[in-house]
Structure 1
Amino acid sequence: MTSREYPNPVKDFKGFQESLYKSLIAATAAANSIPVEEVGFYRSLDRDFAKDLDHAGSSALAIGNSLLQQCANDTGIEVLNFEDVDDVIQRYGMTTDVCDGLLEKADLCLDQMRGKGFQESMKQDAPEVTQIATKDKLEYKFLHANNVVRPQIHFKDAVDNSNSTPFERKIKYKPHALVPLDFTASNDEIPRSLPHPYVHEITHIEYPQRMFETVEPEMYKPYDTTSPTWVDTEEKLLEMMKHLEGVEEIAVDLEHHNYRSFQGFTCLMQLSTRDEDFVIDTLELRDKLWMLNEYFADPNIVKVLHGADSDIIWLQRDFGLYIVNLFDTYFPTKVLEFPHHSLAYLLKKYCNFDADKKYQLADWRIRPLPVEMLEYARSDTHFLLYIYDCLRNELVNKSTTDGNLVRVCLQRSNEVALQKYDKEIYDAANGTGPGGWKNMLSKWKYAMNPQQLAAFKALHSWRDHTAREEDESWRYVLPNHMLFALVERMPVDSSGVIGCCNPCPTLVRMNAQAIAFDIQKAKREALQAPKEDVFKEEDTSKSETITVSTSGSSTTKMQVQSIKRSNSSVDPALFDLKKAKKLRTETAAKLEKKSSDLFGSCL
C-alpha cells in the first residue's frame, strides 16, 4: 500500500483506523505463514530469502526505534536505541515504561474530556463499532458499549462460582417423562451434581417415522421481506409458545458471553419454525424459559441445531432446559463426507446465502440490541429447517437399510444431548483439569527455576480464586501473557507488579500489594523446600528433563534445553598468583628473541 492510499488520520480517522487494521492483519498472516522453528531451515535453502528476512528485520527494528524515541520524547523518558535482538530482550522494560507513560497520559486526557471528575450514575452508552477487515469481503465487527451494567447483578438465581459446592440443577418439573424426576445424587464419594434428568427418555426414544422418509424440502420464507419477533416479556413468551403448538420441527441457536463472567451466561436464544423467527432476550426471561421444556423435551418435535455441544450445556446451566430428539446438522456433514462442516458452508450450499459473520465477536449483552445484530442472530436459524430437510433426504437416499445413515446421525446427536453440565473444579495441588496450571505449564516453552514455578502456581491459584469471587473470566482478571511476565520477573512490590502488566488489569491494580506478597511467600517457601535436580546429559541440541521438587509431596517435570558443561579437573596451583606470575615470566623468557628483523639488536 502506497502512502497515497492511506487516509489522512486528521480528516478521516475511521478510514485510517480501518486501513491500519487491514495492514496489521495482513502482516500478521504473512508472519505466521512460516512456523518460527522452521525459519532457519528456509534461510539455509534460499540465500535471497535470508537477505530479505535480515533486511525486513533491520527495517522493522529501525521503525521501532523511531517510534520509541518519538514516544519517549512525549513522555519525558530517555531510552537507548535497540541495536539487535539481544537489546530487545534485555531492555524491553524500557518500551513498557514508555507505553505505560503514554497510556497514563491518554487516560488522563480522556477523563478530562469526558468530565469524569463528576460521579455519574452507571448507564449504558450507545454501542461503538470497530471494524476489522479480513480475507475476501467479510469483516469482523467488535460491537461493544462503554458501560454495560452487568446482567448477572439482576439474575434472580444467584451466581455460585464456589469451588466446593456442586452445580444445583434448575429443572423442577419434568414434562414428557417416562420415569420420574430423580432428585437423588449418584453414589460417588463426593457427588458433584445430580444426574441428567432425561437419560432414560433420550436413550429409549422412538423417533417419528417421517424422519426416515424423503420429503420435498419446505422452502423457507424470504429473508429480506420477513423480520424476527423480539421476545422480552413473559406475555410475549406465552404468545410465542402458542405458535409452537403442533409444530414438528424447530431450529434453535444461542448467543453467549463469557468475558465478564466466570461461568458465562446466555444472552440470546434464536428459535425458528417453518413460518416465523423468534429472538428471545434470555437476560430478561432467564427464570421463565424452563417452560420451553414442554417443546424441547417432546420426542415428537425435532430440535435442529448445528454444532450443539456448547448449546446443550448452556441450556442446562442457565435455564434448566433439556433436549430430547436432537438433530445436529454437523454430523450429516461428516457422514456425507462434505469438504467443510460449518453452518456457513451449508447455508451457501443449499440456500446460496453468504453467512455474515461480522458480529461474531459482538457483545451480546448490549440492550437495546441493534437491528443489525438482531438480523445477524436470526440468520443462524432462519434457513436451518430447510437445510435439515435437504440433509435428511440425502441421508435417506444413501442409506442401505431403513435409513441407517439417519440413525447414525441421530445416535451421535443423542450423545451430545446426554452431556451434563458440571462446574469446573480447580485442583490447586496437582493442577489437573482443563483450567489447571499443569495444562498451561505444558504450553510454556521456557524453563522455570523452583522459585518461578512456585510463583506461577501461587499466581494461577490467585487468579482462579479472584475470578470466582468477582464473577469475572480468567482473561479479564489476569491474561496468560501477563501472568508469565510476572513469573519471569517475580516483582516483590506493588509498583513492580503493575509495571509487569501493560495495560494493568483493574483487579491486578487493586490487589497489587497482595500479589507481590504472594510472590514473596512463594519464593521463600521454594527456597526452604527440598530441591532435587535431575539432569540427563546429552548433546547440546537435545532437550533434557529437569525434575523440580518444590515441596515434599509434589514433583513437576519440565522439558528444557540442555546445556552440556565439561567438568575438567582444575589444578589448585593455578590460583597461586605468585606461581602464575613466575610461570608467565619463564614462558616469556623462552619465547623472547634477542634481536629484531626490523630494528636489529638496538632494542
Structure 2
Amino acid sequence: MSPITNTNDLIAFCDLLKTAPFITVDTEFMRETTYWPKLCLIQAASSDHAGIIDPLARDLDLKPFLDILADEKILKVFHACRQDMEIFFNLGVTPAPVFDTQVAAMAAGYGDQVAYDSLVRQKLKIDIDKGSRFTDWTRRPLSEQQLQYALGDVTHLAKVYIRLRDRLAREGRLDWVSEEMKALSHPSLYSTSPEDAWKRLKPRKNSVKYMAVFAQVAAWRERTAQERDMPRGRILKDEGVDEIATQTPTDSAAFDHLRSTSKGFGASKFGQELADIIRATLKNPDAYAPKVEKTAPPVQVPASVVELLKVLLRIRCEEEGVAPKLLATVSDLEKIALDDDADVPALHGWRRKVFGEDALRLKRGELALVLNGTRVEVVELD
C-alpha cells in the first residue's frame, strides 16, 4: 500500500471514514533530539478501510483528517494514546470521543499497561514483527516492511477493539472505563504552556522566594526548549531547576559553580538570560510565586493497615479479573488507611462497589483475611 501524499487522495480516504462508527488511529513520530515530536506517519482504519497518511508530503493538507478526529459522531480508538493525543493537540485538535484499548484491557484483566503486541497476541493469536518499530520514519521512500508494520498497528487494533468492547459490554464493564476515556480528551492533559511547566516537576520547598524562582526557571527552560525545538534536558536538567531555585544566582558567572549546569553555561546566552530573569524575580517574589496550597504536616500512615488493604485489593482484582492499578493505587490505599472519607476514586462509583466498601469494612473489623491452605480468603465476621 502506498501512503497518501496529496490532499485530494486524503479527502477521498476521509470520505470513506466519515460514516464509520469508529476508526482506529496510530502515529509514527520521532523526538529524540527535538522538543516537538516530528510526525512522520498517521495510520487510520475502520472495519472496512485502512490507509497510511504521509504528513511529510509537500502537497498534503491534514485538515480533512483533523476534521475526522474532531467529529464527535466517530469514536477514535487508540492504544496507549497519550503521545498520539499530544501530537494532534499540537496540530490544533483534541480527538474526541476516544477509546484507549490499554485502559480497557486493564478492566478486562490483562494487567497494568499491557503492550500493544502482547494484547494482539492474546486477543488475535498474532505475533507482530517488531523489527520496524525503531526505524527512521523520516526517511523516504519507506520500505514495504515499514508500511506493512505501520498498517498492522491499526488493522489489528480494529479487531482488538471490537473484541474488547464486546467483552466489557457483556460483563457490564464499559461504564468502568468511561470516566477515564472522557479524561483522555481533556486539553489540560496536553498543555505545554511554559507557565505551567513547574507543575510537572517536584519542588522541594514551599517558600515564596524558592517557588518564585523555581517557577520562572522552569518557564524559561520550557519556552527556550520550544523556541529552539530542543529537549528540555539539553537546556537544563530537572535537578538544575531545583538547584538554581535554591541558590538563586544573580550573576551569570555564578552558574559555573553549580553542579547541575554545564561548563561555560554562565558565559552563554542561556546564563545571561537566566540571570536577568532571576534578578527580576527576586525584586518582587510575591508577584512571581505560583499559588500553592500548603499541605498539612505528613501523618504517619499505619503500614500494617496498608498491607492488609493491598492483600484485599489483590484478592478482589483476581476475583473480578481487573488490573489493580485501575481500582486503586498505593497512594489511594494510604489515604483510605487514614480516613474512611478519603476523596479517592476507590471510594466512589463502581470502584467502591468492587473494592472500596470492603476496604472500609476490613478497617471496621467486619471482614477478616484468613489463610485457607495456600489461599488467602475474605470472610465475614459477626
TM-score by length of 2: 0.55
Please state whether the residue corresponding to 2:105 is helix, strand or coil: helix
CA RMSD of aligned residues (A): 4.8
Alignment match, 2:370: none
Matches within 5 A, 1:319-398: 319-320=92-93, 322-324=95-97, 326-342=98-114, 343-355=116-128, 366-368=138-140, 370-371=142-143, 374-396=147-169, 398=170
Q: Which has the higher contact order (CA 8 A, sep 6+)?
A: 2
Cα deviations across residues 108-137 of structure 1 (Å, max 9, x unaligned)?
Answer: xxxxxxxxxxxxxxxxxxxxxxxxxxxxxx
Within the candidate set 455, 465, 474, 2:232 is matched to 474
1:321 and 1:271 map into 2 onto residues whose CA distance is 16
Alignment match, 1:168: none
Matches within 5 A, 1:310-325: 310-312=83-85, 314-320=87-93, 322-324=95-97
1:455 and 1:241 map into 2 onto residues whose CA distance is 48
1:369 and 1:498 map into 2 onto residues whose CA distance is 46
1:440 and 1:267 map into 2 onto residues whose CA distance is 29
For 1:478, give the aligned amino acid.
Answer: L
Alignment match, 1:512: 271
Q: Is the 8 A contact 1:260 1:476 kept in 2?
A: no
Structure 2, gaps ≥5 residues long: 297-382
Shift of 1:386: 1.7
Assess, with a 3 A threshold, how the Cα gap between structure 1 residues 257 and 394 changes in structure 2: closer, same or farther.
same
Q: Is residue 25 of structure 2 the alignment partner of residue 252 of structure 1?
A: yes
2:35 and 2:64 map into 1 onto residues whose CA distance is 26
Q: Is the 8 A contact 1:231 1:237 kept in 2?
A: yes
Within the candidate set 419, 425, 428, 2:186 is matched to 419
For 2:201, give the aligned amino acid.
Answer: M
Cα deviations across residues 488-518 of structure 1 (Å, max 9, x unaligned)?
Answer: 6666665653575665699983333343455
1:452 and 1:420 map into 2 onto residues whose CA distance is 29
Cα deviations across residues 560-588 of structure 1 (Å, max 9, x unaligned)?
Answer: xxxxxxxxxxxxxxxxxxxxxxxxxxxxx
* Count of residue correspondences: 291
Question: Where is the helix percentage greater, Structure 1 or Structure 2?
Answer: 2
Matches within 5 A, 1:115-154: none
Assess, with a 3 A threshold, how the Cα gap between structure 1 residues 471 and 451 changes in structure 2: closer, same or farther.
same
Shift of 1:472: 4.5
Q: Is the 8 A contact 2:212 2:288 kept in 1?
A: no
Q: Is the 8 A contact 1:498 1:512 kept in 2?
A: no
Shift of 1:237: 1.8
Shift of 1:348: 1.8
For 1:474, give the aligned amino acid.
Answer: R
Alignment match, 2:218: 460
Assess, with a 3 A threshold, how the Cα gap between structure 1 residues 441 and 389 changes in structure 2: closer, same or farther.
closer
Cα deviations across residues 453-491 of structure 1 (Å, max 9, x unaligned)?
Answer: 765455334324434544545334222134445556666
Q: Is the 8 A contact 1:234 1:285 kept in 2?
A: no
2:37 and 2:224 map into 1 onto residues whose CA distance is 15
Within the candidate set 240, 262, 266, 2:13 is matched to 240
For 1:440, give the aligned amino acid.
Answer: L
1:307 and 1:508 map into 2 onto residues whose CA distance is 43
Alignment match, 2:348: none
For 1:512, give the aligned amino acid.
Answer: G
Alignment match, 2:201: 440
For 1:510, give the aligned amino acid.
Answer: K
Q: In terms of Rg, which structure is larger?
A: 1
Alignment identity in percent? 20
Structure 1, gaps ≥5 residues long: 1-227, 428-432, 530-549, 560-603
Q: Is the 8 A contact 1:296 1:321 kept in 2?
A: yes
Cα deviations across residues 259-297 of structure 1 (Å, max 9, x unaligned)?
Answer: 666665644311134466422122447972221366556
2:122 and 2:267 map into 1 onto residues whose CA distance is 48
